[in-house]
Amino acid sequence: MTDQTTHVFSIDPALTRRFYINGDWCLPVREAGSLPVVNPATEQVVANVAKGTALDVDQAVVAARAAFTHWSVSPVASRVRILTRLHELMLERNEQFAQALSLEMGAAIGFARTLQVPLAAEHIRVVRDLLPEYPFQQVENGTAIVREAIGVCALITPWNWPLYQITAKAAAAIAAGCTVVLKPSELSPLSALLFAQLVHDAGVPAGVFNLVNGSGAEVGEAMASHPDIDMISITGSNRAGALVAQAAAPTVKRVTQELGGKSPNVLLPDADFARVVPLGVMTAFRNVGQSCSAPTRMLVPRARLAEVEALAAATAESILVGDPASPDTVLGPIANQAQFNRVQAMIASGIEVGARLICGGTGRVAGLEVGYYARPTIFSDVEPGMAIAQEEIFGPVLCILPYDTLDDAVAIANNTVYGLSAHVQGTDLNQVRAVASRIRAGQVLLNHPAWNPHAPFGGYKRSGNGREFGVHGFEEYLETKAIIGYEPT
């Protein structure tokens, strides 16, 4: 635990009352009230953002549609210059963004400075670097295959990685020649307002990027159903993703979804347990477990169960939970009260059905009675069918599941409606790769590799459709046109 300290960040109230539309900060078309932003470390309201309506979405779409005419045919060199400036400014403003993230969602300030902001900046750099060499037109056998910007794109981003998900979507869309209307999560909108100001300061042409704050039920639905929006990309819950797809269906727009996960971490018998168990715990608990790709199911050989439990419990108990403004904190609070309540309910359900609690449990962290601080929690002897092994908890809760054979391990790994991510650990790389090839997931990580911003990210099954990051994420924002009978000049 750490002593309570103070964030140095504050945001201009004039920005929180406005939306960024057509290159300017605009008041809502009509007054619709505001949405409170709560600091999860103090449970106090730190800002109120304007609540948008379908009328504000209409304004933003008109601006984006007008800007698309010229931005979609802008020279690649112009887009590269803009993206370069965006990248430079984000790195220059790292501290401002980090403070905003820590305040609005409880990210530990060290984590925000070294991961949340720099990784968000990487998404900009990656698409900037791929643009000059990307083959927007190829001619084969008298047919030109042309890749063109899809149009006006609506982006809906979550509260758990607010800036990271904004840049993953917006940078790719802008690089492709699309124009954007962004609805950030109403629970963590401050970093999005800072990003809109960054866009303005970078010289992005008016109308190319627009931001409307508001609820999913109103602003999100208006975007999904809007006839002049060509594509919608959402990162969020399965429920939100399904509602967006339903609203988008009548206009037959492209819908890409990055939704939930319940990722397995398969420890093979020859793995270096002293290394991979602590890494597995910390990876599962990164961002307080609030990551859709978090490997929250650790599958281990039954004969090594006691050894894994000891290593995992020791790791969890060493984690410093406390005030996110302190540089010593590893895990801050859960990002909001509703999610804190869900985490508590899921822990209680695990205890009720007989999973063996080896550390943590329900209740707040001792000494932190104010703030949504959850205890790092590990269950063992978890049955694959238990709710804690099937449902996305989105908190610092790890399930250890024993297996008897590799076939058993693969079956348990795939025994979920999700298929976003997976991990496999082992010394025999041939065996590690063989197991990875049998797991139904969009991304499989072997032996805790370094993060690769070029690797496509997205899910099988109910984890969504489409991909983000790198060239695969970039191509989601392109249409394919065939010009037959084309003769090159």
Please write down the HEC assignment for all residues of the chain. CCCCCCCCCCCCHHHHCCEEECCEEECCCCCCCEEEEEECCCCEEEEEEECCCHHHHHHHHHHHHHHHHHHCCCCHHHHHHHHHHHHHHHHHCHHHHHHHHHHHHCCCHHHHHHHHHHHHHHHHHHHHHHHHHCCCEEEECCEEEEEEECCEEEEECCCCCHHHHHHHHHHHHHHHCCEEEEECCCCCCHHHHHHHHHHHHCCCCCCCEEECCCCHHHHHHHHHHCCCCCEEEEECCHHHHHHHHHHHHHHCCEEEEECCCCCEEEECCCCCHHHHHHHHHHHHHHHHHCCCCCCCEEEEEHHHHHHHHHHHHHHHHCCCECCCCCCCCCECCCCCHHHHHHHHHHHHHHHHCCCEEEECCCCECCCCCCCCCECCEEEECCCCCCHHHHCCCCCCEEEEEEECCHHHHHHHHCCCCEECEEEEECCCHHHHHHHHHHCCCCEEEECCCCCCCCCCECCEECCEECCECHHHHHHCCEEEEEEECCCCC
Phi, psi (rounded to 5 degrees) for 468: -120, 165
- The predicted pLDDT at position 489 comes to 67
Nearest in space to 167 (alpha carbons), one of 152, 157, 159: 157
Query: What is the CB neighbour count within 10 angstroms for residue 437?
Result: 10
- The predicted pLDDT at position 130 comes to 97
Report yes or no: 420 and 443 within 8 Å, Cβ to Cβ. Answer: yes
Percent of the chain with pLDDT over 70: 98
Averaged pLDDT for residues 460-470: 97
Q: Is 391 annotated as catalytic?
A: no
Domain coordinates in residue numbering, the chain: 13-259+464-482, 264-452
User: Residue 246: what residue type?
Assistant: Q
State how far the Cα of 146 lies from the Cα of 391, in Å rounded to an integer: 42
CATH architecture of structural domain 264-452? 3-Layer(aba) Sandwich (3.40)
State how far the Cα of 118 lies from the Cα of 124, in Å rounded to an integer: 10
Could you tell me the sign of the dihedral formed by the alpha carbons of 298, 301, 305, 310, in that order? negative
Residue listed under structure tokens 């790719």: 172
- The predicted pLDDT at position 3 comes to 42
Averaged pLDDT for residues 313-329: 97
- The predicted pLDDT at position 8 comes to 61
Residue 9 binned pLDDT confidence (cut-offs 50, 70, 90): confident
State how far the Cα of 356 lies from the Cα of 363, in Å rounded to an integer: 17
Of 26, 153, 178, 292, the catalytic one is: 292
- For 67, the token pair is 């800007």
- For 367, the token pair is 């000494």
- The predicted pLDDT at position 7 comes to 57
Averaged pLDDT for residues 367-392: 97
- The predicted pLDDT at position 4 comes to 45
Beta bridge partners of 180: 153, 209
pLDDT, tens only, 390-437: 999 999 999 999 999 999 999 999 999 999 999 999 999 999 999 999
CATH architecture of structural domain 13-259+464-482? 3-Layer(aba) Sandwich (3.40)
Residue 2 binned pLDDT confidence (cut-offs 50, 70, 90): very low
Residue 363 binned pLDDT confidence (cut-offs 50, 70, 90): very high
- The predicted pLDDT at position 5 comes to 47
Beta bridge partners of 444: 422
- The predicted pLDDT at position 11 comes to 81
Residue 6 in this model has a pLDDT that exceeds 90: no
Q: Which of 2-11, 125-134, 388-397 has the lowest mean pLDDT?
A: 2-11
- For 114, the token pair is 């070294």
Residue with the larger pLDDT of the pair 326 and 8: 326
Q: Is 258 annotated as catalytic?
A: yes
Percent of the chain with pLDDT over 90: 96
State how far the Cα of 80 lies from the Cα of 91, in Å rounded to an integer: 17
Residue 464 in this model has a pLDDT that exceeds 80: yes
Would you tell me the crossing angle of helices 162-176 and 94-105 to the nearest 10 degrees? Answer: 130
Chain Cα centroid distance, residue 74: 29
- For 390, the token pair is 């099937």
**Interior CA angle at 196 toward 82 and 465, to 5°?**
85
Of 104, 221, 258, 476, the catalytic one is: 258
